[in-house]
């Protein structure tokens, strides 16, 4: 099977597809129209409504979604919650990374508030007592994964594009990545986390990230059928999703893009250290392994080590425990060098040539890592 081999620059540019409009993002005020919250029929419907910014999440949007989610969860007339993105290109391409980076330089509290409130929302989705249906049509990365993957139902389409590319900007796959990634088949989640490997279309379903696959042209009909249900049970909702899933024939005969590589992935990524994973890839020597090696070697060494430990620890934690750990990591990353350097290289100067510090894995010590995972005491994320 032919796997697209990207040059790293092309790869990173593709992953960070958001075209940042500096003035609109720096504004503290979030237009209420950035997220639409409606009761339709039996459902509460959330529409992420910033199509020009690929529906990137802002703090203002989070502050509208979270309380509404809690209200609908308690409302006896609301039987399910649907979340979707406007514009047809993206479900949600992530969070407002550039704004966060700039807020740190001006010593604003945004970095604490943004991650704290985003992770609280992720947790609320994971524990939501009402069926939660995410229509992940189009680009779904970073924060967009956080508002979809923890829900009961996730519907992919042929336009879905999933990635967690954070190690390329000096961050780590957050929003509960430490919970869901190590629970994917074999060591697939470790590959996705460390390399930012992109999954498209039906592969998002085959990987276990989506629960259903539906033709994008049928999504509005699917939504109408869900909304028209009268006092539905979870089984009723699942039944409609199953019907649409069964009707879709797009790429049905194609194998999972990573199927032929899963033995390699499981073997190479089962190591206890990033250094050993790199050595395993080198020893494997196949075109696929060498492509992943090339990508990993461009990533932040600190981010790689944080991410491997995050997934290993997260594999036996609850979602809330993982989010508490990730909040600690987020705050440490905000104070470190690599996140700001990654944002500079990828989103500001766009030279795609970050200068990581430390520049190699050997210089990232266990002592350094322990500092990232250290409790924040009274500032820890609490549920």
As annotated, the active-site residues are 95, 143, 166, 174
The H or E element spanning position 273 is none
Q: Are 263 and 284 in contact (CB under 8 A)?
A: no
What whole-number distance in Å separates Cα of residue 37 and Cα of residue 69? 10
Q: CA angle, corner 294, sides to 292 and 295, nearest 5?
A: 65
Q: Which of 79, 55, 75, 77 is nearest to 67 (CA)?
A: 75
**Exposed / middle / buried, residue 14 (Cβ in 10 Å: 0-12, 13-18, 19+):** middle
Q: CA angle, corner 236, sides to 235 and 240, nearest 5?
A: 110
């491997």: which residue's tokens?
Answer: 308
CA 195 to chain centre: 13
Q: For residue 170, what are its two tokens?
A: 């000096």
Query: Which of the 8 DSSP states describes residue 159?
Result: T
């Amino acid at each position: 099977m032919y796997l697209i081999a990207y040059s790293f620059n092309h790869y990173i540019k593709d992953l960070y597809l958001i075209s940042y409009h500096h003035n609109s993002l720096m504004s503290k005020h979030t237009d209420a129209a950035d997220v639409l919250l409606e009761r339709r029929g039996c459902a509460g419907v959330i529409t992420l409504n910033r199509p020009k910014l690929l529906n990137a999440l802002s703090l203002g949007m989070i502050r509208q979604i979270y309380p509404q989610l809690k209200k609908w969860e308690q409302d006896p007339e609301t039987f399910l919650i649907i979340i979707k993105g406007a514009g047809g290109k993206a479900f949600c391409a992530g969070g407002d990374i550039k704004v966060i980076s700039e807020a740190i330089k001006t010593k604003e509290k945004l970095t604490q508030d943004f991650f704290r409130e985003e992770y609280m929302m992720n947790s609320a989705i994971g524990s939501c007592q009402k069926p939660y249906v995410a229509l992940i049509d189009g680009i779904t990365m970073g924060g967009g994964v956080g508002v979809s993957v923890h829900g009961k139902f996730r519907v992919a389409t042929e336009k879905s594009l999933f990635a967690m590319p954070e190690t390329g900007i000096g961050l780590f796959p957050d929003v509960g990545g430490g919970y869901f990634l190590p629970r994917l088949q074999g060591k697939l989640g470790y590959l996705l986390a460390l390399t930012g490997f992109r999954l498209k279309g039906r592969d998002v379903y085959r990987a276990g990230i989506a629960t259903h696959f539906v033709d994008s042209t049928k999504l509005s009909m699917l939504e109408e059928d869900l909304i028209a249900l009268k006092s539905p049970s979870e089984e009723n909702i699942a039944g409609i999703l199953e019907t649409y899933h069964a009707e879709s024939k797009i790429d049905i005969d194609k194998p999972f893009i990573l199927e032929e590589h899963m033995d390699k992935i499981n073997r190479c990524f089962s190591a206890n250290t990033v250094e050993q994973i790199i050595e395993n890839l080198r020893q494997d020597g196949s075109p696929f392994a060498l492509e992943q090696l090339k990508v990993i070697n461009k990533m932040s060494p600190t981010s790689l080590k944080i991410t491997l430990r995050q997934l290993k620890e997260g594999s036996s934690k609850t979602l809330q425990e993982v989010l508490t750990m990730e909040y600690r990591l987020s705050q440490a990353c905000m104070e470190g060098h690599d996140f700001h350097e990654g944002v500079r290289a990828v989103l500001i100067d766009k030279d795609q040539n970050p200068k990581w510090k430390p520049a190699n894995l050997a210089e990232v010590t266990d002592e350094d890592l322990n500092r990232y995972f250290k409790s924040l005491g009274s500032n820890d994320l609490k549920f």
